Amino acid sequence: MDRRTLLCSTVAVGLSGCLSSLTGEDTREFRPAAETFNRGVDAFGRADSTRSTARDRYGAERWDVAAERYAAARDGFDAAAREFDAAREATSGSCPALHDRSQRQYRRCLALVEACDYWADASTARLASEDASTAESRATVWDGRAAEYPTSSRLDPDDFSCRA
């Protein structure tokens, strides 16, 4: 390759990187955070599937299986929350879109952890033929809080915007 061509292409790449960092679009340094965010989305999906199974079992009055599934969903949402928290911390606020999205999903997961915990308590109370109304009421409140946060989808780690 001609030295001039190599020099021009190197300068062009460096200049585009410089310009993209000035415009807020250089996301290369946030690739690991985006990958962590995606792991959170995946963990959330698995936990949500488990929660769906738990709801079905609860509706079918299969209290022991519902309690077990709600406990598993709670643990899954907790794992997802850790991933979203790690993604949020990795941005240090320097990538507003990823930071904010991670923050919302972290909060959503924490609300679902609480909801699943109360649904597990309600299932256990029903299994023991005890009153489950308080636990059901609290679970519904936490479900509502979780629903206040929009669902996020996976990010393309190589092509996303840091702009809020």
Nearest to 28 by CA among 37, 14, 17, 16: 17
The residue extents of the domains of the chain are 22-148
SS3 134: helix
The one-letter amino acid at 56: D
Q: How far apart are CA 73 and CA 33, in angstroms?
A: 24
Q: Is 118 helix (H, G, I), strand (E, B) or coil?
A: helix
Per-residue pLDDT tens, the chain, 164 aa: give them: 444 444 444 443 443 343 344 444 567 889 999 999 999 999 999 999 999 999 999 999 999 999 999 999 999 999 999 999 999 999 988 999 999 999 999 999 999 999 999 999 999 999 999 999 999 999 999 999 999 999 889 999 988 899 86
At 28, list the tokens: 């290369």
Report the helix count and the strand count for the chain, using DSSP H and E. 5, 0
